[in-house]
């Protein structure tokens, strides 16, 4: 009664502000629940009593489709069906007991039907023990963490199935996972790069974990979806591999903290870092995990036609510089400056499609080489122009000397130091000057040949790559 009275008083004083405030609070509260609903539970949320002895779990991965590779943000999104199987003698009887308990009303609700198709609609009138009408809420399932998941999209489907056949001790648990993940990428050979997209899964670190180890089994790059043509924009899936790992939690902590941070304070009562095999949870716990690597190759033809070919055509036009006469200095310099600006404009377009990294990509290195080749034409043109102008001035001086030194008719020609008439000596020097004028032409041709060789060799090394120079690059041959 007091609450109602207080509520009426607030309505009189605040014009309904109390009810409005309560409504807004409810709306805000429901709004905070939406992200939780979007995330739902993790795909591999475990249950039940652990087996008496650690088990070996076999892992299979079948990718329905790779939805996106966001190389600018180092993210990728996909739908993968992960299939786990192990031995558990208790499982079939546990399924029978749970199903019977649900059907006779002893079990009020089956928290986990054996198939997601029956979730929320499992019938109590079922007969027999078929996959789609049984309850698996007491079968042991391991909790598998997703270490590098970035987002589990809102509204995603998360189908699952638990398979337990009569007469077999094997248990299988598959889950369809739609998620977005963070993964490091290497762009040194862009656009001819191969990327390893990593999905990291781990059993909760424990002392004497219930899972002895994960064992890779079947893989598939395509599942359920049929059809021809490209399945992903910009990339081609090369293959899938599963890599199982088992390491001490202490070794893992020491690796990351020792390599990327600072070690624990000596006075810390429970140090994160420490010696291997030390006592306590951190020293004795083990992480049993597996990674699913999806190898993808970039569609390089698109970038070759839209980036590399225009760049090489522009640098090829700069070779005309060495054919233009050295005396046309303005034309030679104008051509190179125009091509330099064209390369700059093209680079702005290229940079929008290049991933930003701490090292130059192959395309960036190629553009840099092209800048140097085009720029070289300017000082080379100035040198040959100055050389030709100097030689031409000397030639004009010699011709003037010949003209001034013509002997008057009937007079004998004076002798030079070598015993020849002075006019003949000057003529010989003119011929030598004529031959020496070939020097600018020779310089141009040598420069042209050197620039062509530099572009060809640099393009081959940068674009094709030399494996010995980049031994740590991801390689698709492991999927062949």
> pLDDT for 144-184, tens place per residue?
999 999 999 887 788 999 998 888 889 999 999 999 999 99
Comparison of pLDDT for 276 and 313, the residue scoring more: 313
Residue with token string 């009138």: 125
- Structural domain 302-405+419-479, CATH architecture: Up-down Bundle (1.20)
* Options 3.40.50.1100, 3.90.50.10, 2.70.170.10, 3.10.50.40; CATH of 37-90+140-298: 2.70.170.10
> pLDDT for 84-115, tens place per residue?
999 999 999 999 999 999 999 888 889 899 99
119-133, 167-181, 466-480: the lowest-pLDDT one = 466-480
**Percent of the chain at pLDDT exceeding 70:** 79
**Percent of the chain at pLDDT exceeding 90:** 43
What's the CA gap between 103 and 135, in Å, rounded?
Answer: 10
Kindly indicate the confidence band of residue 464, based on its pLDDT and cuts at 50, 70 and 90: confident
pLDDT at 25 over 60: no
Comparison of pLDDT for 78 and 121, the residue scoring more: 78
The pLDDT value given to residue 23: 44
Kindly indicate the confidence band of residue 403, based on its pLDDT and cuts at 50, 70 and 90: low
Q: Of 20-29, 219-228, 471-480, which one has max mean pLDDT?
A: 219-228
64-68, 76-80, 388-392, 435-439: the lowest-pLDDT one = 435-439
The pLDDT value given to residue 105: 87
Comparison of pLDDT for 243 and 462, the residue scoring more: 243
The pLDDT value given to residue 435: 54
In the chain, where the domains are located = 37-90+140-298, 302-405+419-479
Q: What is the mean predicted confidence (pLDDT) over 11-39? A: 42
- Rounded mean pLDDT of the chain? 81
Diameter of the chain measured on Cα atoms: 147
The pLDDT value given to residue 327: 87
Could you tell me the pTM of the whole model? 0.76
pLDDT at 39 over 70: no
Q: What is the mean predicted confidence (pLDDT) over 253-262? A: 86
pLDDT at 13 over 70: no
pLDDT at 30 over 60: no
202-216, 264-278, 342-356: the lowest-pLDDT one = 264-278
Q: What is the mean predicted confidence (pLDDT) over 279-287? A: 85
Same CATH fold, 302-405+419-479 and 37-90+140-298? no
pLDDT at 429 over 50: yes
The pLDDT value given to residue 125: 82
> pLDDT for 309-347, tens place per residue?
999 999 999 999 999 988 889 999 999 999 999 999 988
Kindly indicate the confidence band of residue 259, based on its pLDDT and cuts at 50, 70 and 90: confident
> pLDDT for 342-377, tens place per residue?
999 988 888 887 777 888 888 888 899 999 999 999
């Amino acid at each position: 009664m007091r609450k109602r009275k207080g509520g009426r008083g607030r309505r009189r004083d605040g014009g309904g502000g109390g009810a409005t405030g309560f409504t807004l609070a409810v709306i805000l509260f429901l709004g905070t629940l939406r992200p939780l609903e979007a995330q739902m539970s993790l795909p591999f949320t475990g249950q039940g009593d652990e087996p008496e002895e650690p088990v070996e779990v076999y892992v299979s991965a079948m990718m329905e489709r790779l939805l996106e590779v966001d190389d600018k943000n180092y993210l990728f999104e996909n739908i993968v069906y992960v299939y786990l199987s192990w031995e558990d003698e208790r499982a079939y009887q546990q399924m029978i007991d749970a199903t019977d308990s649900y059907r006779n009303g002893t079990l009020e609700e089956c928290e986990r039907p054996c198939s997601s198709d029956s979730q929320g609609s499992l019938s109590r009138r079922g007969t027999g023990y078929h996959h789609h009408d049984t309850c698996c809420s007491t079968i042991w399932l391991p909790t598998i963490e997703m270490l590098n998941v970035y987002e589990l999209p809102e509204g995603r489907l998360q189908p699952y199935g638990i398979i337990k056949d009569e007469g077999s001790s094997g248990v299988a648990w598959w889950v369809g996972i739609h998620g977005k993940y963070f993964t490091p990428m290497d762009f040194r050979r862009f656009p001819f790069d191969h990327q390893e997209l990593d999905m990291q899964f781990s059993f909760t670190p424990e002392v004497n974990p219930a899972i002895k180890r994960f064992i890779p089994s079947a893989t598939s790059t395509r599942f359920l979806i049929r059809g021809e043509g490209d399945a992903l924009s910009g990339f081609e899936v090369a293959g899938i591999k599963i890599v199982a790992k088992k390491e001490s939690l202490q070794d893992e902590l020491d690796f990351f903290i020792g390599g990327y941070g600072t070690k624990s304070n000596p006075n810390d009562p429970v140090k994160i870092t420490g010696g291997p095999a030390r006592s306590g949870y951190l020293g004795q716990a083990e992480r049993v995990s597996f990674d699913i690597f999806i190898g993808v190759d970039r569609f390089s033809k698109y970038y070759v036609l839209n980036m590399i070919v225009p760049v090489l055509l522009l640098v090829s036009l700069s070779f005309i510089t060495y054919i233009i006469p050295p005396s046309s200095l303005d034309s030679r310099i104008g051509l190179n400056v125009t091509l330099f600006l064209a390369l700059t404009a093209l680079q702005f377009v290229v940079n929008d499609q290049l991933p930003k990294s701490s090292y130059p990509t192959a395309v960036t290195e190629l553009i840099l080489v092209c800048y140097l080749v085009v720029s070289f034409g300017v000082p080379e043109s100035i040198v040959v122009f100055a050389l030709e102008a100097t030689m031409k001035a000397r030639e004009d001086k010699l011709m003037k000397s010949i003209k001034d030194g013509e002997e008057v008719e009937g007079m004998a020609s004076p002798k030079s130091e070598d015993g020849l008439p002075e006019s003949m000596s000057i003529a010989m020097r003119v011929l030598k000057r004529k031959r020496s004028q070939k020097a600018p032409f020779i310089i141009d041709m040598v420069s042209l040949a050197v620039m062509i060789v530099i572009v060809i060799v640099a393009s081959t090394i940068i674009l094709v790559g030399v494996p010995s120079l980049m031994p740590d690059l991801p390689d698709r041959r492991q999927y062949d």
